[in-house]
Chain A
């Protein structure tokens, strides 16, 4: 396993060799992910890891896919989705066209959850969702929209808790082991690679969803990402971050007002 000093060195090498900059990610979390990656791939030391990354291109891609956290679920935090429908959707409805950015979309669970609720609230026909992630593997998986059936009992429970009006099964085509999201719910989503560290504004969006992504950044990078979100929102646009994340330490804090303190939904006011 590697030390904090080795971690700094490794991140520097990765930046130099591959132009991926993880140096402002949370060190504590990076260390965990890298140890996990080394475990899975049977690497014993930092030297092993560095050697493989530099000399084996497929290993590097696996590394990127593995160290970014892609764990999610449908309708994570039902109370959040409930609040979003009650406090944000009516406002979005006043726009003739709606653009939404789902930043750090992982395997698509969050984005499709949102899209299901847009459909139930009749906002679906005029909405375009831009779903982005740093990991190309995540983007591919999101596009496929195929999920293991194991957790669907929890998903269904979440779905009803956030006010779902139908049966969750209606939105999927299933066999004994997997469920695939209905193709209609893919049509208005553009999945693409985007790196919150390096890339810039690409579209004005009235709602940005970025939950439990900022926790993997240090304060410096959190601030940078929040500035990017700020620039991507029109005045009166909405930003939703994770339940235990905060705008408080950021330079754009003053430019937002709280729409739901508990659920961390904010509106840009200037």
Chain B
């Protein structure tokens, strides 16, 4: 099943893989991508600008109640959780940190999975905590597509490893194969 939205979660060590994935996606692919990356609050970063230089998509930081559109990469703003509404618009949320994180990857994975079910694709990359593992398991249980970065390739393996340890349904792929899979499934 062709995914309706791709969510990429990552923390320490994930940035280069994200750039590599975006750079190598077929130009005809326009499935919306949501990126939840742990980042510092109260700092201005050039994260969006760097992504924009590496993709044919339009890159945009999420605003509350904005509708998801094809051809866009959406980034989770620092210090907000990102949720999905039934009408496929974003809701932001500043409730408690989850896994010491806001945005939390678990929160976004779960919320998107509730709405999109099998049309949800979650990818969990390098990171040095456990955020994302429970959320990715929920996507898998709802028959969505789930991919973790090859634990031997990930700069910090704790994150993909945590996901692997609580669920055996995920595909474990290196960055090259993640790209190949997305190019196959999304076109």
Contacts and interface: CB of A to CB of B under 8 A. Distances in A.
Interface of A: 4, 26-29, 31-33, 69, 71-72, 77-79, 158, 161, 212, 214-216, 218-219, 222, 242-246, 249
A219 to B, nearest CB: 5
B91 A71 contact: no
B64 A71 contact: no
Give the residue among A29, A214, A222, A246 with the most B Cβ atoms within 10 A. A29
- Tell me the interface secondary structure of chain B in the complex: loop
Contacts of A27: 85-86
Given A71-B95, A243-B77, 10 more contacts: A26-B91, A28-B91, A28-B115, A29-B83, A71-B96, A77-B42, A215-B64, A215-B91, A215-B93, A246-B64
Interface string B130-141: 000000000000
Contacts of A78: 42
Contacts of B92: 215, 244-245
Nearest to A245: B64
A79 B42 contact: yes
B107 interface: yes
Nearest to A31: B114
B42 to A, nearest CB: 6
Interface of B: 42, 61-66, 77, 80, 83-86, 89, 91-96, 107, 111, 114-115
A137 B32 CA distance: 41
Contacts of A161: 42
The 5 closest A-B pairs by CB, nearest first: A28-B83, A26-B91, A69-B95, A215-B92, A215-B64
Contacts of A71: 94-96
Contacts of B80: 215, 244
Given A32-B107, A69-B94, A219 B65 contact: yes
A244 B93 contact: no
Nearest to B81: A32
14 contacts: A28-B111, A29-B91, A32-B83, A32-B93, A33-B95, A69-B95, A72-B94, A215-B93, A216-B93, A218-B85, A222-B65, A244-B80, A245-B92, A249-B65
A214 B20 CA distance: 37
Given A26-B83, A32-B111, A246 B93 contact: no
A4 B91 contact: no
Nearest to A69: B95
Contacts of B95: 29, 32-33, 69, 71
A85 to B, nearest CB: 17
A33 B61 CA distance: 24
A28 B85 CA distance: 5
A244 B86 contact: no
Contact of B64 (A77, A158, A244): A244
A166 B60 CA distance: 38
A158 B42 CA distance: 9
A212 B85 CA distance: 17
Nearest to A211: B94
Contacts of B66: 246
Nearest to B96: A71
A220 to B, nearest CB: 10
B42 A215 contact: no
Nearest to A213: B94
A71 B96 CA distance: 6
A29 B93 contact: yes
Nearest to B112: A28
Contacts of A212: 94
